[in-house]
Structure 1
Amino acid sequence: MKNILRILVAFSFISLTACESFLGDNENPNQATSATPELVLPNALTNTGNLLLSYSSSAQWINGYTVNAGGYGGWGSTVTYNYTTSSYNGLWSSTYDDLINYQYIIEETAENPSLAYFQAVAKTMKAFDFHMLVDVFGDVPYSEGLQGAENVTPAYDSQTAVYQDLVAELNGAIDIFQNAEGANGLGSADVIFGGDINKWAQFANTLKLRLLLRMSSSSETSGFASTEFASMDMGVGFLTDDAILNPGYIATDGKQSPLWNRYHSNAAGSLAGSGRSAIPSIYTYSFYDGTKIIDNGRGAATYRSFLSNTPVGQLGNLVDNPAALSGQTAWYVGTGSGSDATNTIGLLKGRTAGYPIMLAAESYLLQAEAYMKGYLSGDDKGAFENGILASFEYLYKGADGNISSDMDPAADFDTYLAENAGNYLVNYESASSDEQKLEAIITQKYIALNFLNGQESWTEFRRTAYPKIVNGSINPRETFASILSTSSRADELPVRYLYASSEFQLNTDNVPTGVSQFTTLIFWQAQ
């Protein structure tokens, strides 16, 4: 990757050096000239949250979570999938910006055992950022990608090689979390787990599980995945709690919850345009309203005015799609009204609510797939049901992280099972084959990640083709493909993003050419 930021960094360094030589010693004692890992880490983690929101928000237009409301223009490639090399420039550059922070921490702590936990966190988050990048772009600059001004035209590494090395990074991180001696605690620099090293080890292990399941789907990497599964230390465990980022969000512009800010209102109370122009799809809504599954509990915690006048639509319908409800956002659920909402349940929990980096629901459902396929030893039905229950629990929590006193996730989970008796997408024992079990697992993941992580559910759809859609259909309950799609695929969807235009301008000799958003598959995608 060679981007404008790197050139500016290199130019700034040269300019400052020249000025120092010309002007002599003119240091400002109040201006920081270097940053410690302890100071860089919380900022890097916070940037990762913003980055994940960008990945999620771009993907949920593809996977059916949101569709365009009527009365808004400029949808362009959002509804046609006719992407250009400029479509995702920001996503590309922002990911590398964040990665440079983690690489800095890794290098600065390499020879300092007291900061071993900082290095392990940076390795974990490096894997987190890079795998998101690979999942939408494929081959990327990796081995040479974070060298800054020392190499401004880095070579591209194969996506399979990147994934394998990310697993190695996670193995190294887990080893440090388990075995480091005399290391300083993370303290206030850890804005996700509050310094809990065991949870960091579980998070790294769960992320590793996510990667290995993808690798097991490809003939290129299935052998590697099998070896790693066989050597996985089950004593580390996997996440049983939601991984929530919160650097101390407050009801002030630029400092409040990024999810709330983008989809609800700013600190002054002005309703967000994104929250009103992005409305629920009929396809996704059908997993709550009884069309495919009856889910009154999570439906009411996900969609405001559920089963009443919640707006629903179809991507690409520029005329008849209803706009958001008057004076409110389409997604707000909970207590209070409009911009006065405070500690709410559901998706948008409040101005001070943390941002979910990974849900416990996903952790359990990843385990369910690994157990079902025999990669690991465990109870797949139990993990499946724990994943659904964890989804209820997350939605019933407020900004303070506590389940609302008037909500009973366990009781509503039991009702969910009873009302969907015989439906294998809910009652696991009703599945008559491993393929139906996989469909149930991925469908429940699709529901649990609704509006929270579109990136992951889109990836899982491309990997497994679940939840099911009907190729070529224009029925909005059968597919989430846009009715204005320009895709040549049978499912009428894209499979990836195009490389950033900055790469074609500045790293011309290395950036892959001939890439199509409709035909150039990521390695773990079957077709």
Structure 2
Amino acid sequence: LDNLTPKYDAGADVYKDLADQLDSASHYLDLGDASVSTFPLGTSDVMFAGNISRWRQFINTLKLKILVTGNGKVTFSNPVIGAGGFLATDAQIDPGYTKDNAKQNPKWNQWAYTSTNSDATKSWMVNEFVYSFYDGTKLSDEWRDAAIYYHPADPADFGINRLGIESNDLNPSPSPGFWYPSSDRGTGITGNSTGVLKGPAAQLPIITAAESEFLQAEAAVRGIAGVTNAQTHFENGIKASFKYLYTDALDQVQGDPAGDAADYMDENDGSRLVNFTLAAGTEQQIEDFNADCGLTAEQERAKVKHCYYYGNTTFFVYDSKAELTSIDLRSGKFTYRTPDLHLSRTTTLQDVQKVYPNSVAAAINENGGKLVRLKPCK
């Protein structure tokens, strides 16, 4: 109670200081014996068991997160990442979690069962917006849906929260909660499953490999710390996410995460949230089209067959099925796909206007790959 009105440091100063402290930590590691890769710390180091290489990767990954978050807002002393690379596997702590009083994984203790088998929570927490990234509304992801959420035998018993739901509108989630996907349920279970809530003895993630890969992808896009190969890191992040969620409490990988990740990317190939080539350079793509209705390099790589302008929306066709992907020119984001208009090389402006009255349209000449204006672009 000595200081009820503390002075808070500016956020930019805090981020700069955190990056400086990570540089200091890296420096102290450099002072050690370079010939020693692992110090015999045993269980004293609950994250890496004395593995110096992984500590360097952790420092670099955490600093990259700070650089990415503070990009354009913070003047860092040293916006460079040291040698050693980034985390390629999950950084997790395990001080000896077990199903015992004050020794359980804290998330299991909070969301599933206490050590005395009391229910921690019975809420259905997944809401309509979140679940739209699984059920096909925004994305189709049956694979991670099954790995993360518990689905009762009767689909009608799967509760989804939304605005307006009252406490008695949904049945409570069966113990031990919706985050535990296994059908093996009840107070007597040892707890060993895939997903997020794996079991009482599961390790606790601090930085996952998926987060590391996505950070590197964003850094590459934004030109931070010399990181490159944005698409590779983005796709590796998806694969790492599947692997983490398919790993059980005993650290054993179940199923085929690599194969299912590939199926997921194929299934959602038309979404910029999954297909990196549709998202890369979107703002520049929109800028180029506003300027001269030209065909950008991104569209050439995507084998664009036609583009149509309608009000503030640009329609592109990426395949012979003539499914349309729309980009809102105001936000620069892909918004939806629609098969309302069937396009071919013989499509005319009049054909477009039958479906979209008063449209302003342009088409790509498939032979030369050049834009043919049917009417001037806005």
What's 1:209 paired with?
64
Task: Name the TM-score, length of structure 2 as normaliser.
Answer: 0.68
Q: Within the alignment, does 1:337 sit opposite 2:199 as a pair?
A: no
What's 2:228 paired with?
378
What's 2:204 paired with?
355
What SS does the aligned partner of 1:244 have?
A: strand
Q: Structure 1 residue 332: deviation in Å?
A: 1.2
What letter is aligned with 2:249? Answer: A
1:316–1:296 distance in 2 versus 1, CA, 3 Å: same
What letter is aligned with 2:141? Answer: D
What letter is aligned with 1:336? Answer: D
Deviations 1:172-215 (A, max 9, x none): 11122233239965332111112111111111111111111111
CA contact 1:191–1:246 (8 Å) conserved in 2: yes
Give the superposed CA RMSD. 3.0
Q: Structure 1 residue 398: deviation in Å?
A: 0.8
Q: Larger Cα Rg: Structure 1 or Structure 2?
A: 2
Q: Structure 1 residue 342: deviation in Å?
A: 2.5
What is the rounded CA distance, in whole Å, between the counterparts of 2:163 and 2:106 in structure 1?
24
What letter is aligned with 2:258? Answer: A
What's 1:505 paired with?
none
Which structure features the higher share of strand residues? Answer: 2
Alignment of 1:117-132 (within 5 A): none
What's 1:395 paired with?
245
**Is the deviation greater in 168-177 or in 306-315?**
306-315
What SS does the aligned partner of 1:193 have?
A: coil
What's 2:53 paired with?
198
What letter is aligned with 2:10? Answer: S
Deviations 1:291-327 (A, max 9, x none): 1000111110111118934211125633575243344
Q: Within the alignment, does 1:254 sit opposite 2:109 as a pair?
A: no
What is the rounded CA distance, in whole Å, between the counterparts of 2:228 and 2:63 in structure 1?
17
Q: Within the alignment, does 1:303 sit opposite 2:149 as a pair?
A: yes
For structure 2, the 5+ residue unaligned runs are 286-330, 336-378
CA contact 1:257–1:350 (8 Å) conserved in 2: yes
Q: 267, 270, 274: which one pairs with 2:118?
A: 270
Aligned residues: 282
What is the rounded CA distance, in whole Å, between the counterparts of 2:282 and 2:147 in structure 1?
31
What's 1:179 paired with?
31
What letter is aligned with 1:346? Answer: G
For structure 1, the 5+ residue unaligned runs are 4-150, 438-464, 470-527
What is the rounded CA distance, in whole Å, between the counterparts of 2:190 and 2:334 in structure 1?
36
Alignment of 1:147-186 (within 5 A): 155-181=7-33, 185-186=40-41
Deviations 1:131-184 (A, max 9, x none): xxxxxxxxxxxxxxxxxxxx9986432221121111100001112223323996
What's 1:417 paired with?
265
What is the rounded CA distance, in whole Å, between the counterparts of 2:11 and 2:158 in structure 1?
41
What is the rounded CA distance, in whole Å, between the counterparts of 1:278 and 1:364 in structure 2?
30
**Is the deviation greater in 173-182 or in 207-216?**
173-182
Q: Larger RCO: Structure 1 or Structure 2 (Cα < 8 Å, ≥ 6 residues apart)?
A: 1
What SS does the aligned partner of 1:356 have?
A: strand
Q: Structure 1 residue 217: deviation in Å?
A: 4.0
Q: Structure 1 residue 434: deviation in Å?
A: 4.7
CA contact 2:213–2:236 (8 Å) conserved in 1: yes
Q: Within the alignment, does 1:237 sit opposite 2:89 as a pair?
A: no
CA contact 2:216–2:227 (8 Å) conserved in 1: no
What is the rounded CA distance, in whole Å, between the counterparts of 1:330 and 1:372 in structure 2?
36
What SS does the aligned partner of 1:279 have?
A: coil
What is the rounded CA distance, in whole Å, between the counterparts of 2:6 and 2:125 in structure 1?
40
CA contact 1:253–1:267 (8 Å) conserved in 2: yes
What is the rounded CA distance, in whole Å, between the counterparts of 2:283 and 2:41 in structure 1?
43
CA contact 2:124–2:160 (8 Å) conserved in 1: no
What is the rounded CA distance, in whole Å, between the counterparts of 1:352 and 1:247 in structure 2?
10
CA contact 2:214–2:234 (8 Å) conserved in 1: yes
What is the rounded CA distance, in whole Å, between the counterparts of 2:211 and 2:284 in structure 1?
18
CA contact 1:304–1:332 (8 Å) conserved in 2: yes
CA contact 2:180–2:197 (8 Å) conserved in 1: yes
What is the rounded CA distance, in whole Å, between the counterparts of 1:180 and 1:245 in structure 2?
24
Aligned-pair identity (%) = 37
What's 2:136 paired with?
290
What SS does the aligned partner of 2:65 have?
A: helix
CA contact 1:279–1:323 (8 Å) conserved in 2: no
1:305–1:335 distance in 2 versus 1, CA, 3 Å: closer
What is the rounded CA distance, in whole Å, between the counterparts of 2:190 and 2:145 in structure 1?
19
1:265–1:286 distance in 2 versus 1, CA, 3 Å: same
Deviations 1:434-479 (A, max 9, x none): 5599xxxxxxxxxxxxxxxxxxxxxxxxxxx9x999xxxxxxxxxx
What SS does the aligned partner of 2:125 have?
A: strand
